[in-house]
Amino acid sequence: MSSGIVEAWKLYNDERSGVLFVVEDVTYNICEQRAHEFKIKKLNPKIKVFRRSLTQLIAAATLDVNKELILDGNIIAVVYYRSGYEPSQYPTEAEWNVRLMMERSKAIKCPSIQYHLAGTKKIQQVLTQPGVVEKFLNGEKISSRVRKIYTGMYPLDFTVEGDRAIEMAIENPENFVLKPQREGGGNNIFGKNIKTFLTSIKGKKERTSWILMDKIYPPSQKNYFIRPGSDDYEKIDADYEVGIFGVIIGDSRNIYFNKEAGYMVRSKPVTANEGGRLSGGALSSIYLV
């Protein structure tokens, strides 16, 4: 990640410029965010790193005539969003305007607005529809390989397909997960709650902002969970979600940088729906045999 930001800073090609981390008002990820900041400094001590919330940027950031993003007199080459993914992070119209201004600027955004949108549940669902991923990939061979790893996703809009999905989910809620357009976990609905919730919003426009997904029942394996505040470990039936990180820098014509950047394994007790730290999840590493 840090080396990707440094690569983007180099592409911007202005030695005076800095990097802006857009942060939450209060963050629980400070250690990991600062680690990126220190790594950037280590890779190139010339790069200034600024941390500002969307609200602070309202007064501090402007666009100059060349569409360069200026923060308190400093040119910003790269904007790295660690906030801006939740509606509550835009308390007033002014925060939305700041976001728009950064998007209009020449600064290289991480993620770009296209990638931010591509990560939403709605777009993931649309990509599973016949013919859609094929528009973006080169040829039948590669798109069918990608399709092989898809899990069923269904829209909940006011169409025959949407009505069918709602019926299906109410009948067999244990087979599905209901998801809103939110990131970061903790917002999905599982099991019996799907039935209650869908019954209550069936006739409302709100249903179109949710999508339905087949529930995945991954294989489980015993693992040792170590918790803060305890010297002991627990042996638990757990399942695992592997995430691969990647860095890509490009524009509408070229890809300038494209690199795999490590991985993360989330493990959780099989009894938990989601693996957040609060619901008893933990981080693991891969052991290949």
Ligand X SMILES: Nc1ncnc2c1ncn2[C@@H]1O[C@H](COP(=O)(O)OP(=O)(O)OP(=O)(O)O)[C@@H](O)[C@H]1O
275 binds ligand X (CB under 6 A): yes
Compute how many residues bind ligand X; rule: CB under 6 A.
Answer: 16
Binding mask 78-117 for ligand X (x = CB under 6 A): ----------------------------------------
Residue with smaller CB distance to ligand X, 4 or 281: 281
Residue with smaller CB distance to ligand X, 114 or 151: 151
Q: Which DSSP state fits 173?
A: G
Return the residue of 39, 41, 116, 215 that touches ligand X, per CB under 6 A.
215
For ligand X, the nearest residue by Cβ is 216
213 binds ligand X (CB under 6 A): yes
What's the closest the beta carbon of residue 216 comes to ligand X, in angstroms? 4
Return the residue of 177, 189, 212, 282 that touches ligand X, per CB under 6 A.
177
Residue with smaller CB distance to ligand X, 18 or 276: 276
Residue 263: φ, ψ to 5°: -150, 170
Run of H or E including 44 = none
Question: Residue 9 burial by CB count (10 A; 0-12/13-18/19+): exposed, middle or buried?
Answer: buried
Q: Which DSSP state fits 285?
A: -
Give the interface segment with ligand X, choosing from 32-40, 60-68, 138-146, 184-192 (CB under 6 A).
184-192
180 binds ligand X (CB under 6 A): no
What's the closest the beta carbon of residue 275 comes to ligand X, in angstroms? 5
184 binds ligand X (CB under 6 A): yes
Quickly list DSSP for 97-166.
Answer: HHHHHHHHSSSEEES-HHHHHHTSHHHHHHHHSTTTHHHHSSSHHHHHHHHHT---EEE-SSSHHHHHHH
- Cα gap 75→69, rounded to integer Å: 6
Whole-number Cα distances in Å, 35 to 31, 163, 173, 258, 284 = 6, 47, 41, 22, 19
134 binds ligand X (CB under 6 A): no
CA angle at residue 78 from 136 to 64, to 5 degrees?
110
Residues that bind ligand X (CB under 6 A): 119, 151, 177, 179, 182-185, 188, 213, 215-216, 241, 266, 274-275
